Amino acid sequence: MNSTAQRVEPGSELPPRPPAVDAEGRVLLKSMTLDELEVWVTKTLGEKRFRARQLWAWLHNRRVSDFEEMTDLSKAFRQRLSDGARIDALRLESVHEASDGTRKILWRTDADAVIESVWIPTPNRVTLCISSQVGCAINCQFCLTARMGLRAHLNTAEIVDQVVQVRRMYEEERRLTNVVFMGMGEPLHNPDNVIPATRILYDRQGLDLSARRITLSTSGLVPQIRRFGAESRARLAVSLNATTNEVRDWIMPINRRYPLEELMSALESFPLRKGERITFEYVLLKDVNDSLDDARRILRLTAHIPCKINLIPFNPHPGTEFVPSPPEQIEAFRALLSSRHASVTVRETRGDDRMAACGQLGSPGPRQPKRMDPPEAFRTHIRPSDAPRGPAGDAR
């Protein structure tokens, strides 16, 4: 049972990775954990280890953008860094503010791709939603990003830089308290870059975010869930969204590879510290997954997993065939779960007037992956679409 599982403290037992480099061969400094930076500074540059810790503090704690600001480093060391390394991995493209104060931030990568982060201020916290890929390969039917297909993995520096630059931009206005890997992409489809990024974010000598306030959301890649549990202290959220394999096969084709039984078994053994819980995210789609029978099945599926359930009203986007569940159905769904003593919340929709809400990120253009054919019983419940569809077995 996960309530008694022991979770390792990741760190030096993991072999150091080579740093990411740009097209000109310059090292992207934010691609490295502190241990990796120490190896690079001592082995490649021949400097003392304490220099790596000084550099780390300038990158992540003080968050400078110019090597000349690193005043406790020697001029010669700063010049070597300037010649062969880079501080920022992303270029700010634009910021779009919604009426509720949510800000959709567009970044341009070296490969000329645009990715998005979302800065979400609420009275008690400020959350940054960050991306892990350009596009996404998982093809969830209700998500706008899925229409892009997968175009590229972000490297660790590009992931971390979203947080560093946003703190540089907005820290004087509001302190960032939470980071969620719920932007563009499936984080655990890019584990070699995402998992080290989580460790960089909660490093006490750098950005010093609480690991309990960093959440990674996955569609359910079972082997990578196990790896994440062993290598990171960040929290886990699972995008559930259906309570039967028939429906989940349709709206989340990854379920054809890792069906509900296999997913739930992995989550039952996921290592949790005392007081930790897994979050189940559940996007409510009218007449698809919002019946009271679905609510009862959620209770059965999660009965042996310490968890909380986050109900998410569907945020429509152009071309979607799905319709949001009406507020009264969402409330009935929530009330049934609550009456059985489940920990359940309904997510407040924020940023939807700037296409910054959950499921609305990306600018896909023509749809890349094909739509999945719905099961026969659901074909009268969704809006028709002229977009090409994949065959029933197409799990792209």
In a domain, 7, yes or no: no
**3-class secondary structure, 189:** helix
191-201 and 156-170 helices cross at what angle (nearest 10)?
Answer: 30
In a domain, 316, yes or no: yes
Residue 116 bears catalytic tag = yes
pLDDT profile of the chain (396 residues), mean per 10:
49 82 98 97 97 98 97 97 99 95 97 97 96 97 92 98 98 96 98 98 95 98 98 98 98 98 98 97 98 99 98 90 96 99 91 50 61 84 54 36
Last residue of a domain, one of 71, 86, 101: 86
Q: 70 and 104, same structural domain?
A: no
Q: 194 and 82, same structural domain?
A: no
- In eight-state DSSP terms, residue 212 is G
Is the pTM of the predicted complex or chain greater than 0.95?
no
Q: How far is CA 11 from the centre of its chain?
A: 21
Last residue of a domain, one of 37, 70, 86: 86
Q: Kindly report the CATH number assigned to the domain that includes residue 304.
A: 3.20.20.70
In a domain, 348, yes or no: yes
∠ CA 94-96-101, nearest 5°, is 140
Domain count, the chain: 2
Give every CB contact of residue 216 below 8 A, 6+ residues apart in sequence: 180, 181, 187, 188, 194, 198, 228, 232, 234, 235, 236, 237
Q: 110 and 79, same structural domain?
A: no
In a domain, 276, yes or no: yes
Name the H helices within 156-291.
Answer: 156-170, 191-201, 222-231, 245-251, 260-268
**3-class secondary structure, 236:** strand
Q: 193 and 50, same structural domain?
A: no
With contact defined as beta carbons under 8 Å apart, do 189 and 181 qualify?
no
| Whole-angstrom distance, CA of residue 3 vs CA of residue 149 | 37
Tokens in use for 124?
A: 């008690």
Q: 70 and 149, same structural domain?
A: no
Q: 159 and 208, same structural domain?
A: yes
Picking from 88, 91, 70, the residue whose alpha carbon sits closest to that of residue 79 is 70
Q: Kindly report the CATH number assigned to the domain that includes residue 57.
A: 1.10.150.530
Query: What phi, psi does 13 have (nearest 5°)?
Result: -70, -15
Last residue of a domain, one of 42, 62, 86: 86
Q: 207 and 76, same structural domain?
A: no
Q: 269 and 210, same structural domain?
A: yes
> Within a 13 Å sphere around the CA of 354, how many CA atoms are in the beta-carbon half?
21
Which member of 36, 116, 186, 281 is catalytic? 116
In a domain, 59, yes or no: yes
| Whole-angstrom distance, CA of residue 175 vs CA of residue 171 | 5
Altogether, the residues listed in the chain come to a count of 396
In a domain, 331, yes or no: yes
- Residue 356: its pLDDT value, please? 45
| HEC string for 290-311 | CCHHHHHHHHHHCCCCCEEEEE
Which member of 136, 140, 143, 358 is catalytic? 358
Structural domain boundaries enclosing 45: 27-86
Q: 77 and 109, same structural domain?
A: no
Question: In the beta sheet, which residues pair with residue 98?
Answer: none
Q: 161 and 45, same structural domain?
A: no
Q: Give, in order, the Cα–Cα distances in Å from 104 to each of 70, 120, 158, 312.
A: 30, 9, 17, 19
Contacts for 105-108 with beta carbons within 8 Å, 24 or more apart? 105/162, 105/166, 107/158, 107/161, 107/162, 107/165
Q: 63 and 135, same structural domain?
A: no
Residue 358 bears catalytic tag = yes
Q: 168 and 57, same structural domain?
A: no
- Residue 317: its pLDDT value, please? 85
| Whole-angstrom distance, CA of residue 323 vs CA of residue 142 | 10
In a domain, 212, yes or no: yes
Question: In the beta sheet, which residues pair with residue 346?
Answer: 311
In a domain, 169, yes or no: yes
Picking from 207, 257, 202, the residue whose alpha carbon sits closest to that of residue 231 is 202
